[in-house]
Amino acid sequence: MQLTASITKGTRAGLKVLWEMSKVMIPAMVVVNVLDKAGALPYLSQALGPAMALIGLPGEAALVLVSANFMSIFAGLATMMALSLTAKQITILSAMMMICHAAVSETAIVAKAGARAGWVLWTRLVSMVVVAALLNWLLP
Amino acid sequence: MILEWIWDGFVTGVLKIAALWWLVPLMIAIQVLKDTGWLAKMAGWMRPLLAPLRLPGDAGLPMVAGMAIGLTYGAGVILQVGEEGKLTRAELTVTCVFLGICHAVIEETILFSAAGANGLLLVSIRAVTGLVVALGASRILLPKR
């Protein structure tokens, strides 16, 4: 029956997302936990701090953007959940990730569909930074 | 000591994944929506959005598919429209500029709300940003309809 087929397909898609997430989430948690306990996170945030501070974020947040774009939005979310951030920082970082994530794979998809991929990628990158700066300025 | 740190991280990771179980029923609901043809029906509702972006009605289906199920899972629909040649390269570009910024709105908004962000605010930011940027792109790339 059609509905049964839909449920099977949906279940498979949902489990696949969970599986993909755990492949990133579990190693990310392990790495962040080890870095944290070993006291390495302050060094990382010191190095990237100045650039991220412009948009109200700590240096470690750069990790979130890197994993969201080179892996997936789930990887970025998993990394974000491993850091301790304020509500405002979570909102800014989430907005950035939602606007620009999986830049590698999604740009490849739109290029394959026949759109001008450069346009799609640049508009996303620029919007991400502009929105982050605006939110940092506007949010209490 | 380091083994203990690794184990702690592993356990936290597993617990966080388990807390996301609701992704499965969500994906089922989206699949049912897709298979029952509701997605295609919703494409018709996109017209008011398409006109200001100087896009033809054929852009409705990729818009709905992208917004409902995302670029990766909606890629099938977007690729199909591209292959059928119903949209020009410039029209596809404007569609994808919007979708690049604003897609998979149900799934990603719920996901981020669960992580503690303000979902309603986020989805509005995305929609507004997508519209503004796509509007700009359409003025550069597409002739007046």
Give the Cα separation of B24 and B93 in Å (integer): 32
Residue B35 C-alpha from the chain's centroid: 18
Q: Which residue of B has its CA nearest to A120?
A: B97
Please report the ipTM that was assigned to this predicted complex: 0.74
A33, B16: Cβ pair inside 8 Å?
A: no
pLDDT for residue A41: 65
Averaged confidence pLDDT in chain B: 84
Q: pLDDT class for B98, splitting at 50, 70, 90?
A: very high
Contact (Cβ atoms closer than 8 angstroms) between residue A25 and residue A78: yes
Quote the minimal CA–CA distance from A85 to chain B in Å.
10
Ordered by start, the domain boundaries in chain B are: 22-141
How much is the pTM? 0.77
Residues in A closer than 8 angstroms to B68, CB to CB, are none
pLDDT per residue over B56-85, tens digit each?
A: 888 888 888 888 877 766 666 777 777 778
A5, B129: Cβ pair inside 8 Å?
A: no
Contact (Cβ atoms closer than 8 angstroms) between residue B47 and residue B58: no
Q: What is the pLDDT along chain A (140 residues), one digit of tens a residue?
A: 678 888 898 888 778 877 876 776 677 778 777 877 887 766 766 777 788 888 989 888 988 888 888 777 887 888 888 888 898 999 999 999 999 988 877 887 788 778 899 999 999 999 999 999 999 999 88
